[in-house]
Amino acid sequence: MLINGYTRRLIQLALDEDIGTGDLTAGAFESFKSQATFNFIAKENCIICGTKVAQEVYFMLDHEVKVEFSVNDGDRITERRIIGQVTGPASSILTGERTSLNFLQRLSGVATNTAKYVEALGDSNIKILDTRKTTPGWRRIEKYAVKTGGGWNHRIGLFDGVMLKDNHVDAAGSITGAVKNVRRFIPTTVKVEVETRNLKEVEEAVQAGADIIMLDNFDIPTIEEAVKIIDKRAKVEVSGGVTLEFLRLLRNVDVDYVSIGALTHQATGVDISLKMRG
């Protein structure tokens, strides 16, 4: 994972939120200047993600603290495995403990959750996409975690892709009108995606020249019918209430993408702890 200005600002916000004017607990140990080593321990099976962020937390907090991981982002980890260590002043390690673990647990949770959906598709060529249903401020690193888990990124935000959803269509009066209006204001290289709610809207989206047609909350038979209507004239994306069982049924249907908000907004943090060695 690339550590850049965005990531550092996020880390600094997290440290400021936790430490405030000072760590009252760990501060009591600072005068001892004792050196210690702590282990990161994965307490459940998972796909690890966020090691670089956890390292950067301590680098920004205290340059005397050294963090080394024996695993890489994307590695599958079995429970009770030591995945890394932190060495340095005990007071600094204790101060950064929760912030480093918060990033590591959350991002590993997103990666692990994503992998479950990817695996449900077996050897299908369908790509699992994330959405904008992310933790405010965490979007870029959560989308990194999705990629770590084997998924693909949809648009980052409103600035790098066009998606005409139901409210856009209703505001414009029709899919045709919405597509026509938006194409006036965007570069010709930007693709236009249209969300559809029924087969009639699918037909209209094709005629309007949509590049990607989203089938929102369609069942499998209706998806198959929509694919016939589209007939390769646009990419096909399935979305809305997608479950692992639904993906298993979708494996052999000729669609291109499945977008799943649950990759991020329903991910549960992985149980990882930091324990003093010895």
Catalytic residue check, 277:
no
Of the candidates 97, 195, 201, 204, the residue annotated as catalytic is 195
Of the candidates 66, 132, 133, 183, the residue annotated as catalytic is 133
Enumerate residues 6+ apart whose C-beta is below 8 A from 161.
154, 155, 190, 191, 193
Helix (H, G, I), strand (E, B) or coil at 162: strand
Which amino acid is it at 267?
Answer: A
Backbone angles phi, psi at 125, to 5 degrees: -90, 0
Of the candidates 66, 98, 147, 191, the residue annotated as catalytic is 98
**Is residue 87 a contact partner of residue 37, using CB atoms and an 8 Å limit?**
yes
Which amino acid is it at 198?
Answer: N
Catalytic residue check, 170:
no
Of the candidates 18, 216, 224, 256, the residue annotated as catalytic is 216
**183 to 180, 210, 274: CA distances (angstroms):** 5, 10, 52
β-partners of residue 84 are 40, 69
**115 to 127, 149, 159: CA distances (angstroms):** 12, 5, 28
Maximum C-alpha span of the chain: 74
Distance CA 30, CA 120 (A): 50
Distance CA 204, CA 222 (A): 16
| Residue 266: other Cβ atoms inside 10 A | 12
Run of H or E residues at 74: none
β-partners of residue 275 are 39
Catalytic residue check, 76:
no
Catalytic residue check, 9:
no
Catalytic residue check, 275:
no
Of the candidates 165, 183, 197, 235, the residue annotated as catalytic is 165
The residues annotated as belonging to the active site are: 98, 133, 165, 195, 216
